[in-house]
Amino acid sequence: MKLEKDRLKAKVENLESNLSQLKNDGEPPRGDTTAHSAFGDSPTKTQVSALSKGSPGKNSSITKLQAVSHEASVVRKETYIPATDPVNPYRDAEFEPMNIHASNVKSAEAHAAAITCVAYHPKKDIIATGSDDCCWKLFSVPSGDNIMQGEGHADWIGGLAFHPVGNFLATASGDGLVKIWNFAT
């Protein structure tokens, strides 16, 4: 409990220091590297726990406040966004048109809600679909017959993919879960 209190106190002091520097300088603080330089780049868990227990060691002169100040003094670098997009080398290139004739082989109502993802089986003529109705389904191609379906997610399915061998299907959902479905068993 005392260590947690000390951590909160250190964070408050660091935030107040940063706020006062922002008011005075108008620039974000860069962090104080001297407070944790005795640890090297950053304190280890054993060094922090040794300090919190008060056990003497080679770094016993370093206080808990200094050990915790490293966490609060890390400044994240902003991501660089270029002012202009790079030039597309194929922008002015001309390509011959492809003579492809596509036709609709089969259409079917597959789900009760919007379909969010589709995957083709690597070895068989089967497609898998995922939907906002929280289930996935397998359909034969080109007949469109429903072969199998799976339910088990609590939210919409955002992505699915077959294993290269074809005996597993991975589904990712808005509920934060990835589920692996085994067709071999």
Above 80 in pLDDT, residue 77? no
108 occurs within a structural domain: no
Total domain count, the chain:
2
Mapped onto helix, strand or coil, the DSSP state of residue 160 is strand
In Å, the largest CA–CA distance within the chain is 80
Looking at the domain assignment, is residue 107 inside a domain?
A: no
**pLDDT, tens digit, for every residue of 129-146?**
999 998 999 998 888 888
Domain end residue (candidates: 20, 47, 73): 73
* More confidently predicted of 79 and 48: 79
Beta bridge partners of 157: 173
48 within 8 A of 67, measured Cβ to Cβ: yes
Q: Which of 70-79, 81-90, 97-106, 126-135 has the lowest mean pLDDT?
A: 70-79
Same domain, 7 and 69: yes
Distance between CA atoms of 12 and 17, rounded to whole angstroms?
A: 9
Alpha-carbon distance 33 to 85, whole Å?
A: 37
Give me the residues paired with residue 170 across strands: 161, 180
Is the pTM higher than 0.75? The answer reads no
Q: 138 — alpha (psi -120 to 50), left (phi > 0) or beta?
A: beta
Residues 11, 66 within the same domain: yes
Give the residue with greater pLDDT, 134 vs 80: 134
Is the CB of residue 50 less than 8 Å from the CB of residue 62?
no
In a domain, 126, yes or no: yes
**Three-state DSSP state, 177:** coil
Final residue of a structural domain among 51, 73, 95: 73
Domain presence at residue 62: yes
What single string gives the DSSP state of each residue in 113-147?
Answer: S-EEEEEE-SSSSEEEEEETTSEEEEEETTT--EE
Structural domain that includes position 24: 2-73
Write the DSSP symbol of residue 63: -
